[in-house]
Amino acid sequence: MNKNLIIKYFLVMLIMITAPVLCQTDSSKISVKDLVIGGNHLISQKDIRQILPLGDYSLKSLETAIHRILKIYQQKGYPFSQIDVSHSKTILKVDINEGRKLVLDHISLNCPDSLLLFKLKQEMDLREKTKANETLIFNINSLLNYLENHGYPFAKVIIDSLRFKQDKIQPQVLLECFLSVQTAEQITLDEFRVFGNDITKTKVILREMRLKKGMIYNHQQILRGIRQLKKTGYFEKIEPPQIAIDEKGRGHLLIRVKEGTAYQLNAVFGYNPAQTKNEKGYFTGLIDVGFTNLFGTGRILETYWQKKDQRSQELRFRYVEPWVGGYPVNVGFGFQQTIQDTSFVRRNWGLDVEIPFFYILTIHSHVGREHVLPDSIGEILYNLPKSSFWLYKIGFSYDTRDNPWNSSRGIFYSTQYEYASKKITSVGDTISSPPVTKGSFYRERWTIDAELYLPTFKWQTILLGLHGRQVKSDEETISFADLYRLGGTGSLRGYREDQFLGQKVAWANIEYRYLLGPFSRAFLFIDGGYFMKHNENNELQQDYKIGYGFGLRINTRLGIIGIDYGLGENRSLSSGMVHVGLMNKF
């Protein structure tokens, strides 16, 4: 049943009852230099004069103003209000008969299925009887929502009749409404047909949407499934599903998609200009190859390489097997190696387990092993010993963004706690004060990432991002290798990659985005960062930094080209940080 049709029917009926009487004049223009208002109690003369200011009116504009006043009366629960308008010379006289208040007395519901009738009556809410129009519409919508989410997508709620009667005690009109519900047999979905999926397997699509044969049709669940399917990034377009009933009464759900490949290459190259005359500028780079829908099965295979500066590199590998054993549990294995300032090498591997709940919430856990291998420079400059860790992580993420590639609205929040059992296995002869001894220690880390997307005008949105990191340890001084790094494209733009170190780091991002398309945007940004640590003498070191600039993401035939230009403190326009990237799906 068309909900809007029911609502319009009821409103049209009220308008017919409450139509004002306008005394038409021979002139097409009415000049009003004085306004006389009578009979009003619920609406002040000041408010009426704002709607009917002095001046010239056509008959049509005068009718529009009068209907605006009547609409206010209807919103206050007086739909029987009438307005008589007369015009003499330059005086407009407005006589208002506010009528009686309309109160919803009772809604009588008729349904041939007694069990369904009982459940429908439980969905009704008649507490706001003084708001008869809104309460009636609310209850009709509640009934239709219940029906379409419990196997009756073609059900109808019909207004059989309306009965008005005078209240013998109060000066009000009581409304009795008689509704009837028409339903066919409850529909179960016995077959799913997906069109347009040349790569992604049908069972993967149904799995992501949480659809199973024999389930009772639930419109809300199907809409949630569509939103979840969009988040996978496998498709460029997903049309609203259609339901069909065959001659045997079986339900068929038809899903049409336009598939975009989820295999991608992300290549980024940047140039950092020299800071002094004795230095030389240098290039940075990143190559990220990801197969997020391997062979159309939803499996993930990712490789990542990044050169952050002249002396630092990072390499990562990750594989994820989705829906292990037919349950919504994703299990992954990963390896990572980081060369930091040619002073030490960090290697870690581990097992990840993800459990998605309710389409927007995901629980994350990790068990892994980590090794820190310093060279002689790291031992001398940063007092680094050789150490190993067992890592245990737990966290969750909450994601309501409408488009993970180019969000216009929604929230993303992620938090994680890590506990590490650390063992120092070897101390070099070159390590200086404070002394580092062999033994076992613990390390704790907390991370928080939050993003809020607020739409403003059409195709425009504001991104507010807040991120925090903290590390604690029972060592006398937290190891240089365990500190967090701040600065660069992913955090504080306008500064070098990992330029600042801290036991605590935090940064905030504000972007004003103009969305040029599903994958393209132009934006202005302001980034603010904070970092804090204690040095070897236990002295507190902390500072605040700010960066600003602009960026572009342009979808081309080659892929998504990204350009970021950031200015940090004490930087001229010619010494800003420029990063150019290419994300290509193939």
Give the tens place of pLDDT for each residue, 482-516. 899 999 888 898 888 888 999 999 999 999 999 98
pLDDT at 437: 67
**Of 308 and 162, the one with more pLDDT:** 162
Residue 9: CB atoms within 10 A of its CB come to 11
CA atoms of 167 and 476, how far apart (whole Å): 82
pLDDT at 195 over 50: yes
* Domain co-membership, 406 together with 546: yes
Q: Per mean pLDDT, which range of 162-166, 236-240, 578-582 is the poorest?
A: 578-582
* Domain co-membership, 252 together with 369: no
CA atoms of 543 and 487, how far apart (whole Å): 13
* Domain co-membership, 310 together with 232: no
The angle subtended at Cα 341 by Cα 340 and Cα 343, nearest 5°, is 80
Give the chain's domain count: 4
pLDDT at 479: 82
Rg (CA), the chain: 34
* Domain co-membership, 516 together with 548: yes
Shortest CA distance to 585 belongs to which of 260, 294, 257, 199?
A: 260
What is the mean pLDDT of the segment spanning 419-435? 70
pLDDT at 5: 41
**Residue environment code for 52-76, b if the CB has 16+ CB neighbours within 10 A, otherwise e:** beeeebeeeebeebbbebbebbbee
pLDDT at 584 over 90: no
pLDDT at 382: 72
* Domain co-membership, 332 together with 192: no
What is the mean pLDDT of the segment spanning 145-164? 92
Query: Helices in 33-167 by DSSP H: which ranges?
Result: 45-51, 59-75, 114-123, 132-148
Q: Per mean pLDDT, which range of 33-47, 281-295, 572-586 is the poorest?
A: 572-586
Q: Which two tokens stand for residue 398?
A: 């909450």
Q: Would you list the DSSP string of 135-170?
A: HHHHHHHHHHHHHHTTT-TT-EEEEEEEEEEE-SSS
pLDDT at 330: 94
pLDDT at 2 over 50: no
* Domain co-membership, 173 together with 216: no
Q: Which of 67, 97, 127 is the last residue of a domain?
A: 97
What is the mean pLDDT of the segment spanning 276-301? 83
What is the mean pLDDT of the segment spanning 116-141? 89
* Domain co-membership, 292 together with 237: no
Strands (E), 167-250: 172-182, 188-195, 215-216, 235-238, 242-245
Q: Which of 231, 259, 287 is the last residue of a domain?
A: 259
Q: Which of 81, 97, 113 is the last residue of a domain?
A: 97
Which domain does 31 fall in, by range? 3-97
**Of 327 and 584, the one with more pLDDT:** 327
pLDDT at 281: 76
pLDDT at 6 over 50: no
* Domain co-membership, 76 together with 128: no
* Domain co-membership, 423 together with 563: yes
* Domain co-membership, 137 together with 41: no
Shortest CA distance to 18 belongs to which of 92, 99, 82?
A: 82
Sheet-wide strand order for 101-110: 101-110, 172-182, 156-166
Length of the chain, in residues: 586
pLDDT at 586: 42
CA atoms of 105 and 255, how far apart (whole Å): 44
CA atoms of 36 and 476, how far apart (whole Å): 85
Q: Do residues 151 and 187 lie in contact, with contact meaning Cβ atoms separated by under 8 Å?
A: yes
pLDDT in tens, 445-454: 999 999 999 9
**Average per-residue pLDDT for the chain:** 85
CA atoms of 129 and 134, how far apart (whole Å): 9
Shortest CA distance to 35 belongs to which of 92, 84, 87, 88?
A: 92
Question: Which residues does 359 contact at the CB level (< 8 Å), separation at least 6?
Answer: 224, 225, 227, 228
pLDDT in tens, 305-363: 888 777 788 899 999 999 998 888 999 999 999 887 778 888 999 999 999 887 789 99
pLDDT in tens, 235-279: 888 998 999 888 888 899 999 999 876 677 777 777 777 767 777
CATH of the domain at 565: 2.40.160.50
* 3-state class (DSSP) for residue 319: strand
Q: Do residues 522 and 550 lie in contact, with contact meaning Cβ atoms separated by under 8 Å?
A: yes
Amino acid at 123: E
* Domain co-membership, 499 together with 447: yes
* Domain co-membership, 137 together with 228: no
Kindly state the percentage of the chain with pLDDT values over 70. 90
pLDDT at 9: 43
CA atoms of 330 and 168, how far apart (whole Å): 67
**Of 430 and 542, the one with more pLDDT:** 542
**Of 33 and 6, the one with more pLDDT:** 33
CATH of the domain at 123: 3.10.20.310
pLDDT at 284: 78
Q: How confident is the model at residue 425 (pLDDT cuts 50, 70, 90)?
A: confident
pLDDT at 410: 92
